Structure 1
């Protein structure tokens, strides 16, 4: 297995797609009392993953001649996913409509990931060098470190929107995450 410095962006994103699919399945099959934790893990992973793709991967895809219509379609899907993920988060895993809405959401997320893998990742492999892909992986990790941990629909799905709005929202989200984790551990 490649070290973090050697791992290329496609390997990193594919590993994240696999983890997302695992979490989708865990949430889908979890008993009501244990659904919240994998759902919150999924929310965090999807939020940072999509923000990094919007900041780093999609702009690079455009530069390596992935047609705009393909990148625009992925961005549109990500925007819709943010909206639905935020709605599911607000709804809560205990709500009677959660499971059905989540199943539809999960299917859309998997289809989106498969389209990225098919239409963007192959071009990145063909059109960029290993060192460029390793640098892109580093850029994705940096973007993820400063990305919000919750979906924020309405903030846009562009690299610029993520760079301007992302860090303040990330700080807010991470403080909220720390308080929630503290409450969970301390029983408050």
Structure 2
């Protein structure tokens, strides 16, 4: 049985969501310079991941979907909330209880967001988005690790997001 482009997209999305979960765990369980490094890697990867979703997945879904668009609108609103939470976390001492509590809340929101993408948004693409459009999505999603690796650790989430959007076109 051959793999369809939509299955490839789901596999790539699942893989990246697992990477994000592992990165969040590294931030939560490390301290000192290791926490700073883990947070910078997480922030860069999440920004590249969200930029890829925003530039290819959400836009195509909005343009192509004849279904209720609240599935996509809800994901976009969650991404805005996560960006706001990250901006606040970036202003805190990474060793502070406020950072730990805020990061725990953000982690749970990201987990719920990922689940909704996988089980609500992606199924809405079936029969609505062409295989060629899905292949473009897969290609862009596969660029995420490279975009994250090329990030300067001093960039904020918003700066990383803008840089990744620019790179993705």
Ranges in structure 1 where 5+ consecutive residues have no aligned partner: 154-161, 172-188
**Structure ranking higher on relative contact order (CA contacts 8 Å, 6+ apart):** 2
In the alignment, what sits opposite 1:117?
Answer: 118
In structure 2, how many angstroms separate the alpha carbons of the residues matched to 1:131 and 1:170? 22
When normalised by structure 1's length, the TM-score is 0.68
In the alignment, what sits opposite 2:157?
Answer: 151
In structure 2, how many angstroms separate the alpha carbons of the residues matched to 1:54 and 1:169? 8
In structure 2, how many angstroms separate the alpha carbons of the residues matched to 1:59 and 1:132? 11
- Cα 1:92–1:111 shift into 2, 3 Å: same
Q: Match of 1:94, SS?
A: coil
In structure 1, how many angstroms separate the alpha carbons of the residues matched to 2:83 and 2:25? 19
Q: Deviations over 1:107-140 (max 9, x none)?
A: 1110111111111112235544555422221134
By how many angstroms is 1:85 displaced? 0.9
In the alignment, what sits opposite 1:101?
Answer: 102
In the alignment, what sits opposite 1:49?
Answer: 49
After superposition, residues 18-167 of structure 1 pair within 5 angstroms as 18-62=18-62, 63-125=64-126, 127-128=128-129, 130-141=131-142, 145=147, 150-152=156-158, 166-167=162-163
Q: Match of 1:92, SS?
A: coil
In structure 2, how many angstroms separate the alpha carbons of the residues matched to 1:34 and 1:93? 11
In the alignment, what sits opposite 1:15?
Answer: 15
In structure 1, how many angstroms separate the alpha carbons of the residues matched to 2:115 and 2:143? 24
In structure 2, how many angstroms separate the alpha carbons of the residues matched to 1:119 and 1:168? 25
Question: Which runs of at least 4 in structure 1 moved beyond 6 Å after TM superposition?
Answer: 146-149, 168-171
By how many angstroms is 1:48 displaced? 1.0
- Cα 1:65–1:17 shift into 2, 3 Å: farther
Q: Deviations over 1:33-75 (max 9, x none)?
A: 5211111111001111111111111112221345221211111
Ranges in structure 2 where 5+ consecutive residues have no aligned partner: none
Native 8 Å contact 1:53 1:140 kept in 2: yes
